[in-house]
Copies of this chain bind each other. A is one copy, B any other.
Amino acid sequence: MTVKVGINGYGTVGKRVADAVNQQSDMEVVGVSKRSPTYEASLANELGYPFYAASKEHLDAFDEKGIRVAGMIEDLLAAADIIVDCTPKGAEYKPVYEKAGVKAMWQGGEKHTLTGLSFNSMANYDKAYGADYVRVVSCNTTGLLRTLYPIHEDIGFSRSMATMIRRSADPWDTKRGPINSINPVLDIPSHHGPDVQSVVPEINIQTTAVKVPTTIMHFHSVMVDLKVDVNTDHILDLWENTPRIKFFEASQGVDSTAKVMEWAKDRGNLRGDMNEIAVWKDGTQVKRGTLYYYQAIHQESDIVPENIDAIRAMMEMEEDRMKSIEKTNAAMGIK
C-alpha cells in the first residue's frame, strides 16, 4: 500500500516534488495539476503523471496542444490522500482542500499562520506527525536550519547573524532583473530570521538580505556566537554527520556557486539539482568563539526532500525523523 500524493501546481517546485515522490517506494503520484498549457503540461503527459486541469478556462487550449487531461482539480483531490500545494497563491486553496477532506502541505511562500506548523525534517519532524496541514519553510530558511539546528542541538549558540545574498530570478525567469545592480531588501531585519523561529523559536538570529544579478543559488554569509568555544573541526565533524549538507573546497576548484552547480550536473543529478546545502569547508572558521561560514542554497530543490519527509510524517508512515530522512535520501540519490 502506497500513499497517494497529488501535486497542485506543476511548476518549478511541483515538477521536482512529483519526481521525488515518484522515486519513493512508499508513495505514488496520483496526479499533477496546472493552469496553463505550457510545455510542462506536455511533459507531465510524457512522464506518465495523470494531468488534471486547475480551471476550465484553458481546457480548449490543452486540447489544441494535444495535452491529455485526466480530469479537473476536484477529481485529483478525491483521488489523493495528501496534496502538495506548489501554486503561487496556495492560501486560496485552503478552503478547497478542507472541503475535499484531504491533508495538505504548502511551500514557504505562504505564511506560518496558514497552518500554524512550519516544518524542517531535522528540527521538528515529530510535530508534523499526523498533522493535517503543514507548511514546509522556504529554501533560504531550510538552508539556515540545516546548518544552524545541529549546532543548536549540540553545543548551542547565543546569537547568529546572517546576510542572505539572494539570486534575483530562477534560471528560466527572463522577465526579472536586475541586470546590473544590487538591490537591498529594506525590511530590517529581513523576514528570514523570524521564519527560522517559526520552526525553532529558541534560535536567536538576525538577518538582512540583498538581491544580486544571478540566477543560480542563494548565498549566506553567517556568523554564530558559540556557547562553547570549540575548534573549527568540531563544527565540520558535526556537519559531516548531518544529512543534506555537502562540503566543497576551493582547493578542488569549487570556488563559486557556479562551480557547485557544475559539480551537481557532473554528478548526474536530475536537472542538475542540488538538494544538499553547499558549505565551503575552507570558508568555515571558528575564531575567538565566533563561527564564520558560507553556504549556498539551490533555491529550486533544497526543499524537495523536506516535502517528502513531511508527507511521511503527516501520513504517519514513519515515526523516526532519521529513518525518513535516510529513506528519502536513498531514493533520491542524495549522498
Q: Given A40-B266, A165-B165, are A219 and B258 also a contact pair (CB < 8 Å)?
A: no
A183 interface hit (Cβ, 8 Å) = yes
Q: With the chains together, A174 CA to B183 CA distance in Å?
A: 8
- How far is B212's CA from A188's CA once the two chains are assembled, in angstroms? 22
CA separation between A214 and B165, bound complex, in Å? 13
Contact A182 B292, beta carbon cutoff 8 Å: no
Complex Cα gap A175–B254 (Å): 13
A179-B180, A181-B256, A214-B182 known; A172 vs B268 contact (CB < 8 Å): no
Give the bracket for the number of chain A residues in contact with chain B: 35 or more
Q: Which single residue of chain B is at the shortest CB-CB distance from A43? A: B266
**What are 23 A-B contacts defined by CB distance under 8 Å?**
A38-B252, A39-B253, A40-B253, A43-B267, A163-B165, A171-B261, A171-B262, A172-B261, A174-B255, A176-B176, A176-B179, A178-B179, A180-B214, A184-B294, A186-B255, A186-B282, A189-B285, A189-B287, A189-B292, A208-B292, A208-B294, A210-B294, A212-B212
In the complex, A45 has a CB within 8 A of chain B: no
Asked whether A191 is an interface residue with its Cβ less than 8 Å from the other chain, the reply is: no
Tell me, yes or no, whether A150 is within 8 Å of chain B by CB: no
Q: Which of A271-315 contact B (CB under 8 A)?
A: 271-272, 280, 282-285, 287, 290, 292, 294, 296
Q: Does A115 count as interface, using CB distance less than 8 angstroms?
A: no
Expressed in whole angstroms, the Cα–Cα distance for A271 and B263 within the complex equals 9
Per-residue CB contact flags for chain A residues 133-174 toward chain B (1 = under 8 Å, else 0) read 000000000000000000000000000010101011101111
Task: Write out the residue numbers on chain B whose beta carbons fall within 8 Å of the beta carbon of A176.
Answer: 175-177, 179
Contact B208 A223 (CB under 8 A): yes
Would you call A182 and B206 a contact (CB within 8 A)? no
A231 interfacial by beta-carbon distance below 8 Å: no
Contact indicator B266/A271 (Cβ below 8 Å): yes
A80: Cβ under 8 A from any B Cβ: no
| A298 CB, min distance to chain B CBs, angstroms | 12
Interface of A is mostly: mixed
Contact of A253 among B38, B161, B283 (CB under 8 A): B38
In-complex Cβ contact of A165 among B43, B171, B210, B290 (8 A): B210
In the assembled complex, A213 has its CB within 8 A of some CB on chain B: yes
Q: Does A15 contact B (CB under 8 A)?
A: yes
Residues of B within 8 A of A174 (CB): 177-179, 181, 183, 255-256, 258-259
Q: Judge whether A250 is part of the interface by a CB distance below 8 angstroms.
A: yes
* A42 contacts partner chain B, Cβ-Cβ < 8 Å: yes
- Residues in chain B near residue A250, CB distance under 8 A: 186
Q: Given the interface contacts A168-B179, A182-B214, A271-B265, does A188 sit within 8 Å of B292 by beta carbon?
A: yes
Q: Which residues of B contact A270 (CB under 8 A)?
A: 268
Please indicate which of the listed interface residues A176, A261, A266 has the most CB atoms of chain B within 10 Å of its own CB: A266
